[in-house]
Amino acid sequence: MELLASILKNLPDAVSLGLVWGIMAIGVYITFKVLDIADMTVDGTFAMGGCIVASTVASGWNPIFSTLFAILCGMAAGLVTGILHTKLKIPAILAGILTMLSLYSVDLMILGGKSNIGMSQFGENRVYTILDKLAAALGTTAKTTNIITGIVLAVVIVMGLYWFFGTEQGCLIRATGINEAMVKAQGGNTDTMKIIGLIIANGFVSLSGALVSQIQRYGDVGMGTGTIVIGLASIIIGEVIFGTKCSFKVRLASVFFGSIIYRVIIAIVLLLGFNPNNLKLLTAVLVIAALSVPVIRGYIFERKRIRANMKKYEEVETDAGA
Amino acid sequence: MLVLKDVCKTFNRGSANEKVALQGIDLTVKEGDFITVIGGNGAGKSTMLNMISGAFPVDSGLVKIGGENVTNQPEHVRAKRIGRVFQDPMKGTAGDMWIEENLAIAMRRGKRRSLRWGVTKDERELYKKLLAPFDLGLEDRLQTKVSLLSGGQRQALTLLMATVQKPDILLLDEHTAALDPKTAAKVLAMTDELIKEHNLTAIMVTHNMKDAIKYGNRLIMMMNGKIIYDVSGEEKAALEVSDLLKKFEVSTGEEFANDRMLLV
């Protein structure tokens, strides 16, 4: 009972974190599912978004500009990976890893050589995050503001992406992820399509990092580690719940739901006394389990079929012997 | 409509896998020509079509389509002048997208793609009208994913996608080879009808000599990356399969032993 009560108490935080991290998962969805590229840049972009905001807000920037600047830098990171992959023909995974690696140094530069920067909430160094400003404007508590912001952003992003991928340009990006030969034959530049997709995706990831750092009130050079796996976990959880046959709009929304459920799962295991140090391991196991279930189910089905088939002949042989 | 001048291409030059694919191809295609291309495996038939569509840069020579020099134009730029249907029915369409979305992408071949909605209402009516004559029931399934269609239906759709914006030249690369005989005949008849109806200029690679003779107004035979026989008009109309076999024996100096080419 006590556990249930503390879960309920933690639910609003899990939901708002889920929504904000969901923006990152949407970025992963665009590259991994729509473009069929495993974009490892994400780990670097997420941390960069957080570091940019932490560093600039702490030094007195308006948090709105900081966040916009973080988005732009994220898009630039996507552009770099896109050029490495399409123009310099570096395999997509390696191109992403290279950008991610270089962003680590960039993040340290942004943080002025420190490994993290805080945005203090009290005292004379108090700075205001975007969420502080919104809370003041709406007259709501921090918790409520986080949830409202998350919901509004999620709805806007789902609608916006649904619109974009329905346009002439967006259709061609989707087609590029499905069949490049067809896109080329129909006069589409597949390189440009991939670059656009990577730019948009990393813009979202950076925005997500920027908001997460404003919620936790610090940016850390290591905050991006494993981001892509968390993104994949969210997508997979969404697919398990909503299936893969539903409309594009629902699939986009399912990524946010998946992200929220992921956060709820994390909150529950932490409340159960799980060591937070092992969270990344847990996430990886979760993704491995989700990805391997259909394969294992296939093996079992196949073995059953073989056994049933063989049994039929064994019976025939015994009959003949008798 | 299409001019090829002394086009040469060698793949993997300087390595152990060096392959001379095209050795000085000269070909002038007039507007309204429907050329069938035959030849043994590795003769360079598909390579020639891929070269025309710009899938790889040529070593030397000139490629002109519709009066424009496209020799150095990348594949996606010259695509505005070219309609293509591939041997693999999966290759010409995006399986995970609707029929109407595929058609809409083809409808905008060679045009600027904006942020307007991808499929308009008027278009939908047009697609229904265009799909109806195929008699495959596709006109009522515009919002069906292409991956649910059969190979023949996908090839029919690809054919429509290749011609919905009238191309300067239509390239058909053994586009019925992966289909069962009955469907293949149907798709081939559709192809012929479309070409006649829109007065298209087309090049069709085939392994079937009977089809090569039956369709088109001109026939070329390729061997070792060269055009070794080029016949058109009445002479072409009077051709028999045995003539082609004889021609092949004369030029190779050996018995015709490729079963695939004999399939009729």
A180 to chain B, closest Cα gap in Å: 9
Q: What is the pLDDT of residue A41?
A: 96
Which among A164, A172, A181 is the nearest to B105, CB-wise? A172
Identify the pLDDT of residue B143.
Answer: 92
Q: State residue B255's pLDDT score.
A: 54
Spatial distance between the Cα atoms of B255 and B229, rounded to a whole number of angstroms: 17
Nearest-CB residue to A186 (from B77, B79, B118): B79
> Min CA distance, B167 vs chain A (Å)?
11
Tell me: the pLDDT tens digits for B27-39? 999 999 999 999 8
Query: Cα separation of B183 and B189, whole Å?
Result: 10
The identity of residue B92, as a single letter, is G
pLDDT in tens, A229-265: 999 999 999 998 888 788 889 999 999 999 999 999 9
Average pLDDT over every residue of B175-188: 91
> Is A182 in the B-facing interface, judged by CB distances under 8 Å?
yes
Tell me which CATH code domain B2-93+153-262 carries.
Answer: 3.40.50.300
Q: Which residue numbers in chain A have pLDDT < 50?
A: none
Report which of A31, A69, A82 is spatially closest to residue A207, judged by C-alpha positions: A69
Unique residue bearing structure tokens 């004889």: B246
What whole-number distance in Å separates Cα of residue A15 and Cα of residue A261? 8
pLDDT at B263 over 50: no
Residue numbers in A near B87 (CB within 8 A)? none
> Cβ separation of B113 and A184 shorter than 8 Å?
no
Judge contact between B24 and B222, C-beta under 8 A. no
Q: Where are the domains of chain B?
A: 2-93+153-262
User: How many angstroms separate the CA atoms of B234 and B223, rounded?
Assistant: 24
**Cβ of A247: how many Cβ atoms within 10 Å?**
10
Query: Are the C-beta atoms of B82 and B61 separated by less than 8 Å?
Result: no
Do A236 and A288 form a contact (C-beta atoms < 8 A)?
no
Is the predicted pLDDT of residue B257 greater than 60, yes or no?
Answer: no
pLDDT for the residue A6? 83
Q: How confident is the model at residue B264 (pLDDT cuts 50, 70, 90)?
A: very low
For A187, the closest chain B residue by CA position comes to B76
For A37, other C-beta atoms within 10 Å of its C-beta total 25
User: What pLDDT is stored for residue B262 in this prediction?
Assistant: 52
CB contact under 8 A, A179 and B91: yes
Calculate the average pLDDT of chain B.
90
Domain A2-274 fold: ABC transporter involved in vitamin B12 uptake, BtuC (1.10.3470)
**What's the mean per-residue pLDDT of chain A?**
92
- Cβ(A187)–Cβ(B82) below 8 Å: no
Contacts of A184 in chain B (CB under 8 A): 75-76, 79
Q: CB distance A169–B114 less than 8 Å?
A: yes
Summarize the confidence of residues B137-165 as an average pLDDT.
Answer: 93
- ipTM field: 0.89
Using pLDDT thresholds of 50, 70 and 90, give the confidence band for residue B252.
low
For the entire predicted model, the pTM comes to: 0.90
Residue A176 corresponds to which tokens in the numbers above?
Answer: 């590029």
Parse chain A into domains and list their residue ranges. Answer: 2-274, 280-322
Rounded to 10 degrees, the C-alpha dihedral B195/B198/B203/B205 comes to -30
Q: How far apart are CA B1 and CA A227, in angstroms?
A: 54
Task: Please give, rounded to a whole number of angstroms, the shortest distance from the CA of A232 to a CA of chain B.
Answer: 20
List, for residues A173-182, the tens digit of each pLDDT value.
999 999 999 9
Reported as a pLDDT band with limits 50, 70 and 90, residue B256 is: low
